[in-house]
Amino acid sequence: MNIFKMAWRNVWRNTRRTTVTIAAMTLALMVEVLYSGLVLGYFQGLEDDLLDLEVGDVQIFAPDYLDTPSIYSAIQDPVPLLATLNDMGYPACPRLLGGALAAADESSAGVALRGVEVDLEKEVTLIDENVADGVWLDSADKRGVVIGRRLARTLAVEPGDEIVLLTQAADGSIAHDLFRIRGVLLGIADGTDRTAVYMNGEAFRELMEFPEGVHQVIVRRPQDVDLKSAAQAIGQVATGLDVKTWKELMPLVATMLESTRGMIVIIFLVVYIAIAILVLNAMLMAVFERIREFGILKAIGVGPFYVFGLILVEAGIQTLVALFSGLVLALPGMWYLSEVGIDVGSLGGMNVMGLAMRPVWNGIYTLDTVIVPIILLVVIVFCAVLYPALKAALIRPVQAMHHR
């Protein structure tokens, strides 16, 4: 007796029950695939934005800067370091950091000054592409600044308006100067949105009376080098300096992103346990209403392994149909979510743990986002049919034949 032929016919004996079971598995698979891609896209987007716009993969500081941030804790001669890093294939750019008071008309706010080398910055970060209103910095425009969007709201300014920056210069004098707003950034991260003032590096040095050195070097790694290896390679050339990965600089965010995968699996399990109960119920009904038949099969010499295998194959057929239909039905959704995405910009900007969410939420669909839900579905269905299959396989023929 061909076990597959018999299982196939058994599966379609009760079309309604089989359809409901397959539909439930199909729906679960479809939802899980779409959901996992969306969650992956969500967190990947946050991570990409964080690295592309803010922190890079690795940062280099003077040894004592992170413990006691000060304008005087600087990398004195960054040029050879930047050149070496660029030669190694690690794009890097310097930043100058300081604090000031910004004022416009009757409003004022404490701000974080970020002096950048405009042309070099574009090769390392994508911040220049993230201007919501106005334009990014220009190396020829020393008095132009770009500010965070919430700072713009606090100061009630927009591109073209002027602000005064007041601070204590490196020589101890009071420094102040007038700057013109060139652009206002899109939402990036909470701290940047509220306090960041990006300015031309030369303008920073003039304002702060800080002629040499930089406070921070932002480094990106090649795509095929993992973060740990990149940090080790950078550490070897940045001797005597403090080299930190973004995960060390932002451990909370890193942990949150790392735990995403576990969270997805937990939600998968919850959905799949519900499906398992349904499959278990369907298979139990399918087994118990045929218990006499199993008795007959055993009476004519069918062994327990055949009976066990028959039920597994029946469940396998339903799972295969569900896998096929689930993936086919998920395809349009996957295309839509990855290509078009969900517009969350209309919600007025959302942020998670201080990281701004992109206005359009796109799903990311990789082999993993499809394979993991498939594996989970197969495992759960297998677990669900184990009991009915064992029950049918081990029942004594005479007991089965007198079952009512």
Should residue 353 be labelled a site residue for other proteins when binding is judged by CB under 8 A? no
Pick the piece of the chain touching other proteins (CB under 8 A) from 1-9, 39-47, 272-280, 368-376: 1-9
At position 74, the amino acid (one-letter code) is A
> Mutual orientation of helices 15-49 and 251-288 as an angle, nearest 10°?
180
Pick the piece of the chain touching other proteins (CB under 8 A) from 89-97, 207-215, 301-309, 381-389: 301-309
Alpha carbons 381 and 386: distance in angstroms, whole number: 9
Closer CB to other proteins, residue 235 or residue 304? 304
3-state SS assignment for residue 39: helix
Task: Report which of 231, 190, 202 is spatially closest to residue 94, judged by C-alpha positions.
Answer: 202
Which of 134, 309, 333, 397 binds other proteins (CB under 8 A)? It is 397
In the complex, the smallest distance separating the C-beta of residue 295 from other proteins, rounded to whole angstroms, is 8
In the complex, the smallest distance separating the C-beta of residue 10 from other proteins, rounded to whole angstroms, is 6
Which of 274, 328, 371, 398 binds other proteins (CB under 8 A)? It is 398
Contact code string over 163-202 relative to other proteins, x by CB under 8 A = ----------------------------------------
Alpha carbons 240 and 217: distance in angstroms, whole number: 14
In the complex, the smallest distance separating the C-beta of residue 307 from other proteins, rounded to whole angstroms, is 10
In the complex, the smallest distance separating the C-beta of residue 325 from other proteins, rounded to whole angstroms, is 23
Alpha carbons 25 and 318: distance in angstroms, whole number: 9
Closer CB to other proteins, residue 13 or residue 228? 13
User: Which of the residues 260 through 299 are near other proteins (CB under 8 A)?
Assistant: 292-293, 296-299
DSSP state of 9: H
Alpha carbons 344 and 349: distance in angstroms, whole number: 7
Pick the piece of the chain touching other proteins (CB under 8 A) from 50-58, 312-320, 371-379, 396-404: 396-404
Should residue 401 be labelled a site residue for other proteins when binding is judged by CB under 8 A? yes
**How many Cβ atoms are within 10 Å of 48's Cβ, its own excluded?**
12
Contact code string over 17-56 relative to other proteins, x by CB under 8 A = ----------------------------------------
Q: Are 105 and 156 in contact (CB under 8 A)?
A: yes
What does the block give as tokens for 322?
A: 């569900």
Closer CB to other proteins, residue 67 or residue 289? 289
In the complex, the smallest distance separating the C-beta of residue 398 from other proteins, rounded to whole angstroms, is 4
- Specify the long-range contacts of residues 367-370, CB closer than 8 Å, at least 24 apart: 369/33, 369/36, 369/37, 369/40, 370/33, 370/327
Q: CA quadruple 355, 356, 361, 362: dihedral positive or negative?
A: negative
User: Which of the residues 302 through 321 are near other proteins (CB under 8 A)?
Assistant: 302-304
Alpha carbons 188 and 49: distance in angstroms, whole number: 7
Closer CB to other proteins, residue 13 or residue 143? 13
List of residues 6+ apart from 69 with CB closer than 8 A: 97
Residues pairing with 75 in the sheet:
214
Which of 301, 332, 339, 348 binds other proteins (CB under 8 A)? It is 301
361 CA to centre of own chain: 11
Closer CB to other proteins, residue 178 or residue 300? 300
Pick the piece of the chain touching other proteins (CB under 8 A) from 46-54, 150-158, 334-342, 391-399: 391-399
What does the block give as tokens for 88?
A: 């190694």
In the complex, the smallest distance separating the C-beta of residue 8 from other proteins, rounded to whole angstroms, is 9
Q: Are 96 and 202 in contact (CB under 8 A)?
A: no
In the complex, the smallest distance separating the C-beta of residue 281 from other proteins, rounded to whole angstroms, is 22
Q: Is beta strand 355-356 parallel, antiparallel or unpaired with respect to 131-134?
A: unpaired
In the complex, the smallest distance separating the C-beta of residue 282 from other proteins, rounded to whole angstroms, is 17
Should residue 396 be labelled a site residue for other proteins when binding is judged by CB under 8 A? yes
Alpha carbons 162 and 147: distance in angstroms, whole number: 12
Backbone angles phi, psi at 289, to 5 degrees: -75, -10
Give contact residues for other proteins (rule: CB under 8 A): 1-2, 6, 9-10, 13, 292-293, 296-304, 396-398, 401
